[in-house]
Amino acid sequence: MITIKSTTGMSDFEVFEVDGAQQGKLGIDKISIVVDVPKDQLVHYAEYGKELNLMIKAGFPMHWDTRVKKNGYRSSLRFKISGVQGTQRPLLQFGPYQEENGFMRLELNPNRLETKGVAELKTELDLVTPHGWPSFLEWGKVTRVDASLDVPVPLDSIIWDSRYAVHRDRYLSNGRPETIYLGKKENGKSFVRVYDYNAKHAPDSLQPVTRIERQQKLDAPFSELAVLNNVFHGARLYSWRCPAPDNIPIGTWAMFREQVSRVGLTRALFFLQPELRASTKAHVVKYKSELIDLEASWVVWPAVVDGLGLTTPGPHGPNIPFIDASVPKDLLGQV
């Protein structure tokens, strides 16, 4: 059973049944959307910064943020969403240093906002952006999405590996694995983070939760978000209950599994004699994790996107204000 991600316990998201998958929560931890406003529509953004400043002074729920990373944009502000604080607030950047970057960039954490917060954000964008939320639906492209899957199993109960052998690292807390990195963070095509969710968010919880998070860099139309291919495809997880092979003593196998928890399967194989490595790997991969089915979990991805309201218009409809580009510019105050 897969339940759409809820961080506050206040969500009314539906529960979806998925054959072959254990209980978990699939969600979106971060998404970045760049809007390439057509040149014939940029006339409506000529004084955008000044207009936003007036709106902020008038009491609109947003504020400038000069401390955030520029990401190639001159101006940055955050929207005030109910129950969301600090850097968790949606970030809007505009005014690119280079035109090819697109005029606006929106970054948000849908897991944190949930359906209600996303609806609130769309309302604010409809009010303070010349083309409202429809500009993101029509002209937006996704440049990054972080998909997350929370499963109720301890991190050290998983034998982990990845087809991406670029880089792996781990942090330890009290001698136990806390975070495992598969691939380099700078390379979104190969970066997966597996970590103990409770270590940071619920240290007193008696229910273990392991989060598997995939950072995927993209260049895809926003309209295609719901049909995104499985971003967890490169991660490989095997069962800790895998028994020792007949040719490896129990004591050696216990030490080998300890190494696996620290450095992953591929690197741990180098602690064995060369003649044992190939057969040991072949033995382990037969025992896929019975607790986590990454392929089956992805089946509900379209429902997660739609359930958050990311693919639907804001409260003011799909076409507001979408001023007709054929209107003479002198009638718009532009000569």
| Pairwise CA distance, residues 287 & 157, whole Å | 13
* pLDDT for residue 169 is more than 70: no
Q: CA nearest 148: which of 236, 235, 26?
A: 26
| Pairwise CA distance, residues 236 & 242, whole Å | 14
Buried-state track 304-330, b at ≥16 Cβ within 10 A, e below 16 = bbebbbbeebbebeeebebeeeeeeee
Q: Cβ(104)–Cβ(94) under 8 Å?
A: yes
From 190-204, 254-268, 310-324, the region with the lowest mean pLDDT: 310-324
| Amino acid 181: pLDDT | 75
pLDDT digits over 194-204, tens only? Answer: 888 888 788 78
> What's 274's DSSP letter?
H
> What pairing do the DSSP bridges indicate for beta strands 210-221 and 191-196?
antiparallel
* pLDDT for residue 305 is more than 70: yes
| Pairwise CA distance, residues 66 & 96, whole Å | 15
Q: Cβ(162)–Cβ(57) under 8 Å?
A: no
> What's 70's DSSP letter?
-
| Amino acid 318: pLDDT | 75
- Which helix (H) or strand (E) segment holds residue 108: the answer is strand 104-108
SS3 call for 270? helix
Question: Omega of the bond prior to 321 within 30 degrees of 0, cis?
Answer: yes
Q: How confident is the model at residue 13 (pLDDT cuts 50, 70, 90)?
A: very low
Q: How far is CA 61 from CA 120, 133, 160, 286, in A?
A: 10, 16, 44, 54
Q: Cβ(272)–Cβ(280) under 8 Å?
A: yes
The token pair at 63 is: 């504020």
pLDDT digits over 42-87, tens only? Answer: 989 999 999 999 999 999 999 999 999 999 999 999 999 999 999 9
SS3 call for 111? helix
| Amino acid 202: pLDDT | 82
| Pairwise CA distance, residues 296 & 312, whole Å | 26
In order, the DSSP letters of 130-189 are: TTTTHHHHHHEEEEEEEEEEEESS-GGGEEEEES--S-EEEEEETTEEEEEEES-TT-GG
